[in-house]
Chains A and B, each alone.
Chain A
């Protein structure tokens, strides 16, 4: 804790008192912001974890199908089958404001109205395992989009929480105690000055009185 380098005057004192009040208010507000962000963050983290394990499991399943398809079909045939997709996904990106953290919101738009219309190949020359792989991926895709959204939200919120926490700590442990100490110092100094003025006045009065008595 360090006292601020200011002149011990009444003007500085009232300035510092105002600063202290706004620092305390800011501290309270930031603390509330941090707590609320943390609450939302914990909810998101829980969802993120759940989604991630679901998505990872589904992709693992799709990969298993894909490995089998790759072994029964020729590589060229497999690539040709997937070369020209029927479906196309575009994302509309919105925005959500959570405690002044701007989080993107993705809403997918499919080219064909039927979202299950995904097989870009005839069934005659492809293995059914390929169908399985494509199907598994298509089923999990909405969750993958949500995962992307939640993961980004978690990262952005983690950044914001860290920043807010630093600010709260700086206010709580440095700025506010510094202000308080400086205010105390100025008050002491001012009252010390006042006392010294009073004593010197009394002394002068004494001297004046003695002089006037001695001469009479």
Chain B
């Protein structure tokens, strides 16, 4: 598996993600829930190891993202969109702590 070179994707609205194109990441501008779900499934099956997704886009496909949480790849990371930080990314971290410890000890 070390022979395969994996790719990195960014999903979100145009304004938030276009900057990442310059870094050489694969940028997908999607704002429709069903299409985002399909896209994530397709990327996961096609050698994408890391998927950055903006918080509003992630909210539209929350179930799919949850599904990939316990699989080894891809790693789906929430990033703030251009409208600002909704705190969803931090919330996911708190959820993980709650799951592991039994209560949220970060607060």
Contact = CB atoms under 8 A, between A and B. Distances in A.
A174 interface: no
B89 A38 contact: no
Looking at B21, B22, B101, which has the most chain A CB atoms within 10 Å of its CB?
B22
Interface residues of A, number: 60
A158 B75 contact: no
Contacts of B19: 62-63, 66, 82, 133-134, 137
B90 interface: yes
Given A60-B80, A93-B73, A147-B77, A87 B22 contact: yes
B40 to A, nearest CB: 15
Contacts of A102: 72
A45 B75 contact: no
Interface residues of B, number: 43
Nearest to A88: B24
Contacts of A85: 21-24
Nearest to A152: B75
B32 to A, nearest CB: 20
B38 interface: no
Contacts of B1: 93, 95
Nearest to B102: A165
Contacts of A92: 2, 5-6
Contacts of A63: 15-16, 19, 80-82
Contacts of B24: 85-89, 110-111
A102 B93 CA distance: 19
A213 to B, nearest CB: 75
Contact of B100 (A56, A62, A89, A162): A162
A173 interface: no
Looking at B16, B23, B69, B89, which has the most chain A CB atoms within 10 Å of its CB?
B23
Contact of A118 (B2, B22, B84, B93): B22
A52 B89 contact: yes
Chain A binding surface SS class:
helix
Interface string B18-40: 11111111000000000000000
17 contacts: A49-B106, A52-B90, A52-B93, A62-B19, A67-B15, A86-B24, A87-B24, A91-B5, A92-B5, A118-B23, A137-B22, A148-B52, A151-B93, A155-B70, A158-B99, A161-B100, A165-B102
Given A56-B79, A92-B2, 17 more contacts: A45-B106, A52-B90, A52-B93, A60-B84, A66-B82, A67-B82, A82-B18, A86-B22, A93-B4, A93-B6, A94-B2, A104-B49, A144-B52, A152-B73, A155-B69, A155-B96, A165-B102
Task: Report, nearest first, the 9 A-B pairs whose CB atoms are least far apart.
Answer: A88-B24, A152-B75, A87-B24, A158-B100, A90-B5, A161-B100, A158-B96, A91-B6, A148-B75
Interface of B: 1-2, 4-8, 15-16, 18-25, 49-50, 52, 69-70, 72-73, 75, 77, 79-82, 84-85, 89-90, 92-93, 96-97, 99-102, 106
